[in-house]
Every structure is written in C-alpha cells, then in structure tokens.
Structure 1
Amino acid sequence: MPLYLTDDQVMLRDSAREFMAAEGSIAKQYRKYRDMNCKDGFGHGLWKQFAEIGFTGILVDEADGGVGLGHVEAGIVLEEVGRNLTPSPFLITAVAVVEALRDTRHRERWYPGILAGDTVAALAIDEGSKHRPESIAMIAERSGNGFRLSGRKQFVVQGASADFFVVAAATPDGLTLFAVEKGVKGLEVEGVRLADASIGARLEFDRVELDADAVIGEVGQGGPLLHRVLNAGRVGAASELVGVGSAATGMTVDYLKQRKQFGRLIGEFQVLQHRAAHLYSELEIARAATLKAQQLLDEDADEADMMVSVAKAKAGSASALAVREGVQMHGGIGMTDEYDIGLYMKRDRVLSELFGDAAYHADRVARLNDY
C-alpha cells in the first residue's frame, strides 16, 4: 500500500488540524489545565467535543455506533494531538481500551459512554519503572465464582480520572485481562503529576473481589489480547510522537528565521541549516514507518507486529532529537516556561516511555528477527 493518505484521510487530517489548533491549542488547553492544577489534567468539555465530532468512535465498529475506521485514521488525529500538546484521553480510551473491548460483551457496557465523551478509561499494565508487559506479577486468585486481585500498578495514564480500568493480572490459567470499575472495595488510586503536567496514577489492589463477568475475553487467554491492545497503543503513541517532533521542528525553523546574531539571521548559518534538514528527514522516516505500521495493523498482516516496534522506536528517537535540538537552537530561552518549545520536550519524555521506549522496541525488533 502506498505511503500516503487517501483523499478522505487528507480531509480528516485537515479537519483534525483545524479543530486542534482552535480548540486544543497549548494556550487554551495545556497551559490552562496545568496552571489551574487540575486533578484530571485535561478538560472534559473538550473530550465531549471529541465525541461530537466523532473522534471517540473512530475505532468503534459502525454496528456498535462508531465510525468504523482504522488505525491510520486514529493516527491522523493523534498526530494533531501531539502537534498541539492537546491534553486528552483519546490515546488510552478511544484507541487502546476500545481495542481491548472489541468483540467482548464489555463493549455493550462501556462503548456508549466512550462514544458520548462521558467515559474515561485507563490501562493498568506496568508495575515497575520500565514497560515490561512480559513480566506481569500481579496475581488474580480464584475466589468463589470470581477472582481476587492483589498487587500494584503504576504509570496508569488518566488513572485518577478513569471510570474503569483494563487490568492485566496472572491467573492460574495464564494472563487474564479484567474490567475493574472505579470505587471497588480494596482499590486505592493515587494521582501523580507526570513530567508533562498530565496526571497518571499508582494503583494498589488489596484483595479486590471481582465476579466472573469482569473478565475481558477468556480466562488465561489474555496474552494475545494484551498484545493486540499494546500494538494499538504503541502505534498511536508513535503518531503522537511524530506530531510532537514535527511541531517542535517547525517552531525551531521559525525561530531560525527570526533570531539574529552578529547582524545575521541564525538560519543563514550552514551548520544550523544542516541540523534542520537532518531533523526533517528523520521525522519523515518516522512518519512513513508509523503509517506503514498502521496500514499493516488495519490489514491484520503478519508483519504488523514488527513494524509497530519499528515505528515506536523510530518515532521516539526522531521526536527526542527534534525537541533536544529545538531547545538547544533556541538557546537559553528554550528552557524558560515563556516559550512552548520546552513543553514539547516534557511531552516527548512521557510519550517515549509509554508502551516502551526506543531501546525496548529496538531490542524487540532484533528479537523478532532472531538476533
């Protein structure tokens, strides 16, 4: 499949770009909710607007009331989210969690609220300082007709605002995913402000009792389902990283055209021109890799798994380069809160760790190729 957008996808991109620039801008959303020390870190009003436009239903089948599009279209929206640093539950709720509930009875319970912009969900997967889904230690023991969950989760994005959690735990039969509603007895949620001012959470499960209906999919068969969910989240995060890097690069190039030193625009210095050209090429490679991964996921192709990790690794490294170069070429003011470029660096750090950093995915690509 060609690595460019169709006419319909270009229309979606233009619509998303216009909407994010107007309603999801840094001044109107990011700075506003950061400066007011909002407990959620995002505006529920904007989340409702996402729903009204149809963004929350991009990955929901038409039969379930959604738009019935794919990961390419979700990525188009996410790139614009990254470009504007728009604080939103879109990546976790409308992409990763929607994927988790697909083809299960839980979609009847939760999809309507997500489609209406009334429901926020969270993924409770990670337990340590790094993303290691292959080493989940949280235990779900059999208890009557259900299960008893004990353990801890952290780096749960939007966990403090979530109406329910998709939780991965080890059962005697293998890995199992559970839908756990907020407020259940024995669950403690501690909100934590992350580097980019978004809110994550640490979860403590103290013998949390769940009935059998809480199981997502089949008991002991959560491995393939979690894998599908993580791939959706990873390629979505890659798109957002491309947006972060692209906006940071555009902001830096604009600054090179305005700032003067020694009586000349600094953009006239060849060494800075070379660095800007390098940034552009790295981001275009990352964008192409991400689009290819999304296309393969939508086709359910065998190569999708490896390409998702290629995209996450490349987008992570390209975005990290863009924000570092951006801050450096801005000089000392790049580290001040007055200029937005530093905010992109903070968002890059959180997104890079989410669903595995570049090193994790580079290693995963090597292992998938038997190195």
Structure 2
Amino acid sequence: MANKRHRVVVLVRPGLLPMELGIVHRLFGQAVSASGDPLYDLVTCTPRPGVVPTDTDFTVNVAEGPEALERADTVIVPAAQEDYEPQARGRIDADVARALARIPRGARVASICTGSFVLAAAGLLDGRRATTHWKSCDEFLALYPEIEVDADVLYTDDRGVLTSAGVASGIDLCLHMIRTDHGAEVANTVARGTVVPPHREGGQAQFIERPVTPPEQCSTAPAREYALRHLDRPLKLAELADRASMSVRTFNRRFRQEAGLTPMQWIIQQRVSRARQLLEKTDLPVDRIATDAGFGTGTALRQHFHTALGVSPRAYRCTFRGTPDGGAETGA
C-alpha cells in the first residue's frame, strides 16, 4: 500500500496576497519522489467558501471550507491586507478562530509574513520563538510580549510552529519544511525548478534600510555629522566629545540617551552601512571598501559585517548586485 501523502492545507482570508498562496502551491507541488510521484496533497480553504477578494484587481474562488483543516498534516496561513491595518492587529476574526480550532493536535502550523499576527492572536505562538516582517516586529512584540520575537531571521521553527519574515521568505520557509520532511535532495530539486537558492544566507537584517537622520536639536548631532564625514579614518572618543563641546563622560551619557548606542557601537553601525552602500553601488574590492568604510582591513570588515547582517560582504554583494565575482574579494 502506498504511503499516505502529506496533506498541506492553506487557510486564506479576504484581502489575500496572491503571491503567498502561489508560493505554497508552486513549491510543495513540485516536490516529487524518486519515481516522480507527488509527495504532498495541497488544499486551499477559507472560513467562508466562495469568492475571496485579494489585495489586487482579481479574486480567487475557494470551494473548500474550514472542515478541510481537520485532515491537515500542515496548515499554512498567508498574510492578508487586514494584517497591515493597525486597528485589526491584536484581534482575530471569529470565523478564523473557529477554523484554526479545527486543526488536529500534532499538525504543523506555519505563517507567511504578517500571517504571524493571526497565529499570535490565536495563542499558537505563546512561549515560542517567532518572526514577522521587519516593519511590523516592534508592534508584534508590543502586542504579544509572551512571544520571543526574532526580528533578524528569515524564518523560525519552534516545536512545529513556524513563521516567516516576509513574502519572499515564505519561499525559504516552504523549502525548509520540504527539506525537513524529505531531505536536502528533494528540497534542492524544488529550489532549482523554481530558480531560487535552496538556502539563503543571513536574515532579514540585510534588507532593512537604516537611514542616518540625526534628530533635530540633538546635542550630539555635531559629533555625529563630523564622524560621518570622517568614517574612513580612526575616530577617538575625546575627539568626538570635543566636537560636541562636552566632557567625555557627559558625551557618552548624552550619546546613549539620544542614539540608544555607545558612540563606538554607533560608529561601527555607520561603517557597516557605508560598506553596504559601496558593495551595492561599486565594483571596489573588499579590502578597498574596508579602508573607505574605516575598518582598515578586509578581515575586520568581514567580522563586523557578519556580526551585523549574518552574511559575508561577498554574499551581500551577490544578493544585491547579482554579480558574485564583481569586485575581487580577496581572502573570502
């Protein structure tokens, strides 16, 4: 008798982001055995069957109702437009809550992007590690302090409950589940068929923009502006304090109050930001970028870059320029 296929049920809601539904069907639908047999059964359901509006100019007709969840091995909840509306966060639609209550004990549950707000509101993430889109992480943590929010990763997997950071990281999440179920070879084949990497390095920290805009009337602003103009050379604390007309002790205290970081932590952050810009926009070799950003050596740049973003300069350049060999990275 053939093994029972793993049943993946996708629960969609009005305002669905169609790409997220497509990700699930495309990836799990490509997973096949060595003999070419499908490894998953895929079902889409909704709390109220029928025409489901999306966040685009077309709708999706979903025939299956919430009873489909009762036979699920894995349940995936994509994001919907309401997840981006502050007044809707922290609450859960009664029909959605009743649908989630149908999930059998032991089934794997996952969300894509801000679909994590639904899992959180249903209590499925209590005491677990989870993530969501980086733009929503602060609000996510404020609403659900009982959840261990990790704002840097692409996805989390905590005891059978999984979350992903954004739309595209839903791909990473699905590949992770396929890899867990059937091994790296199957997941790699799916990734190749979808023309995506089987595993992306680092987390969503590398995609967050952190523009430098010193607050108006900030007492340490003159020192920060000076530092930004001279990131390529050594910067001493006494030198920066003098620019702000303060003692070193007062400058340290004021800087922490205004920036939330020590002066040296802030300088490293700005140097990493400068290196990011140069990696994205130039073909300069890493050692030269290290000099221009103030790290001095390529080794120092790589250490700080990996600590801050979870990837190497070479991997970052490859991601954002699509040129893995653009700019010789000596010693990578």
Query: TM class by shorter-chain length?
Result: under 0.3
Normalised by the length of structure 1, the TM-score is: 0.24
Question: Which structure has greater helix proportion?
Answer: 1
- More RCO (CA 8 Å, sep 6+): 1
TM normalised by structure 2 equals 0.27
Structure whose alpha-carbon radius of gyration is higher: 2
